[in-house]
Homo-oligomer: A and B are copies of this chain.
Amino acid sequence: MTEHSTDILIVGGGPGGIMTGMTSAQISPDKRITLVRPETKVLVPCGIPYIFGTLGGTDEDLIGELPFLQAGGELLVDRVESVDREARTATLAGGDRIRWERLVIATGSRAFMPPIPGADLEGVHTIHKDYDYMDRFFREVVAGVKRIVVVGGGFIGVEFADEIAKRGIEVHLVEHHPHVLSRSFDRDACLQVQAHLLDAGLQLHTSVRVQALEAGPDGAQVGVVRLEGGERIDTDAVLIAAGTRPNVDLAKAMGLAISDKGAILVDAFQRTREDPEIFAVGDCASKQDFFTRRPANALLASQAAAEGRIAGMSLYALHAPRFNAGSISVYASQVGDLAFGVAGLTEAQAGKLGFQVYRGESRMPDHHPSTLPGTHEVYCRLIFAQLGGRLLGGQVIGGPTSGEILNAIGIAIQMRASAADLASFQFGSQPLLTASIHPIVGAAVNALANHFQNARPAMGKKEG
């Protein structure tokens, strides 16, 4: 056994771990930073669906560790077996021990496998964020899968289904809610995405659950997906995309407090309850909802990266109080050439939390004049709190700039912009790059107008 020594020890090499390393290398350049991860190669998590279509290979979807190494970080491919909080050491699977000053737990999450009978058959897969596993799955697909059933119509299921269909494979998508993406989007937006999936030739099975997976003629390989109600889909493979759960094995063994949602409890600076020198970031760390201060559970690479930045800036001293009190959802996707996404709350989510809202919508070409080549229509919906008019959320459906329009909405939510702010702000417009009336502005003005018209009769009544 050898005993090494470092200043900052990061356990886990996904977006949260890497971002903690890259940020702390900039903020604390005099500190030694060691990142331990079990994987030789690490996949870009949100790129996984694209391995099966656009990218065409597992090696095309790797997180580059070069920026971290160039910033002075050290990488160890090994597994942290245990941590001794008293002695400030971590023991690796190979037996070596590492002494640390600050510890960052970034152990991520694991795919959730719902208890479906037959889920242990060959040819039944999930999205493990593991290079070897996904590479085997990819090679199996290439070798001869002609039909596949995707169980779960969230972002990952939809992206995977759309991508793998590009190989000419027959794709069935099974979703137990009435629409795909219904946890993330309001109904009409879901319907627009579904229309695109149908156009792309996918077969949708909504409002129905999978009852069991059955073996094919050889008794070992999956052959049939049986749905509730009796429908049977013949298939060569199944992908179960039912979300992920925090991986907190190490944290539990260390005696760290775990939240109701199964994540390591951390404060606004990603510090654990028990020890201000032990941090947790990413899918394994607890989150708080921006709007209500309640526990939240968005397991997203972008969220993990944001937390890694906060931890990386806070390891040795706190600098600025965080302007926001928690996390919001900001995510986007694309099906065919239709991009779509959400930032903050949907109307349905806002209603559930107890908000009263008003809404504004806009729909316009993303170039101007719209005679320019490459013009897409962009639809934008914003919702605002009835009293005070703060922006609560936005949905965008459109062309390639939709992701950045959503990021702009995300900034506006996190800076607590109101409808009046957004309606009066300046936005740049350029023929090739943007709409003539910015979608955010169009929706904000429309929201104010709706709100004002609705408010006036009530005011009239009071006077009469």
Interface residues, chain A, CB within 8 Å of chain B? 15, 19, 23, 26-27, 29, 44, 46-47, 50, 54-55, 60-62, 300-303, 305-306, 309-310, 312-313, 319-320, 322-324, 327-328, 330-334, 339, 341, 343, 368-369, 371-374, 389, 400-408, 410-412, 414-418, 420-434, 436-438, 440-441, 445-446, 448-449, 452-453
Contact = CB atoms under 8 A, between A and B. Distances in A.
Interface centre among A312, A332, A431 (most CB of B within 10 A): A431
B334 A47 contact: no
A411 B422 CA distance: 8
Nearest to A434: B403
B428 A331 contact: yes
Contacts of A320: 389, 418, 420-421, 424
Given A44-B369, A55-B369, A428 B403 contact: yes
Contact of A417 (B415, B418, B424): B415
Given A402-B433, A429-B46, A412 B411 contact: yes
A429 B305 CA distance: 10
A314 to B, nearest CB: 9
A56 to B, nearest CB: 9
Interface centre among A60, A301, A414 (most CB of B within 10 A): A414
Contacts of A50: 372, 431-432
19 contacts: A26-B445, A27-B452, A46-B429, A47-B431, A50-B372, A301-B429, A303-B426, A305-B436, A312-B445, A313-B423, A319-B448, A322-B420, A324-B424, A328-B426, A332-B433, A407-B428, A407-B438, A411-B412, A415-B415
A434 B44 contact: no
Contacts of A373: 54
A291 to B, nearest CB: 13
A332 B372 contact: no
Given A44-B436, A319-B420, A320-B421, 16 more contacts: A27-B449, A44-B431, A46-B429, A47-B368, A55-B371, A61-B371, A302-B427, A302-B428, A305-B437, A309-B424, A323-B418, A331-B430, A400-B401, A404-B405, A412-B415, A415-B415
B410 A427 contact: yes
A374 B433 CA distance: 15
A13 to B, nearest CB: 14
A341 B428 CA distance: 9
Given A309-B441, A369-B55, A446-B26, A407 B436 contact: no
A411 B415 contact: yes
B400 A400 contact: yes
Given A50-B372, A415-B421, A425-B414, A432 B26 contact: no
A432 B341 contact: no
A116 to B, nearest CB: 28
Contacts of A441: 305-306, 309
Given A403-B430, A404-B401, A425 B331 contact: no
A432 B27 contact: no
A54 to B, nearest CB: 6
Contact of A330 (B322, B420, B426): B426
Contact of A46 (B23, B26, B343, B430): B430
A33 to B, nearest CB: 14
Interface centre among A26, A27, A430, A436 (most CB of B within 10 A): A430
A426 B302 contact: yes
A405 B402 CA distance: 11
Contact of A401 (B300, B389, B403, B429): B403
